[in-house]
Structure 1
């Protein structure tokens, strides 16, 4: 897999987990369960999912130069013109 596709796949997995963990936490808020073991577990899961996503997102490297110097946007050093 090329790095961009690999990142997209990893991002999808991490964001699905973050969404599920956040949804569970919101369900507990709606139910009024703001303490106890279920709350602590859901809070830990959401915090862990958020931390994992932020760690992955910090690794994004954006190269603004291809648009300016004519290089292809796939990270290679040669242009196919």
Structure 2
């Protein structure tokens, strides 16, 4: 994940929180900020979940290129 994507997500979330504190949760500004946060979250989540790691091979003794657990 790049720092700019994390930054965009944090900024979008902070803008929503500021609108909640200001009790502005039903106007055009809210809709716009909610949409920005939704898009930023989707990008952030796509980057976050794109990395597939399998920590189990070192724990269960199977080869690191195998997704099948060893038979007992």
Give TM-score scaled by structure 1 length: 0.63
Which structure dedicates a bigger proportion of its chain to helix? 1
Query: How many residues matched?
Result: 60
Q: CA RMSD in A?
A: 2.0
Q: Which runs of 5+ in 2 are unaligned?
A: 62-72
Instruction: Quote the offset at 1:63 in angstroms.
Output: 5.2
Q: Which runs of 5+ in 1 are unaligned?
A: 1-6, 69-81
Deviations 1:24-64 (A, max 9, x none): 00000000001111000000000110000111111113254
Q: Distance in 2 between matches of 1:46 and 1:21?
A: 5
Q: Distance in 2 between matches of 1:63 and 1:22?
A: 30
1:2-81 pair list within 5 angstroms: 7=1, 10=2, 12-62=3-53, 64=55
Give TM-score scaled by structure 2 length: 0.70
Q: Distance in 2 between matches of 1:47 and 1:34?
A: 15
Q: Which runs of 4+ in 1 moved over 6 A?
A: none
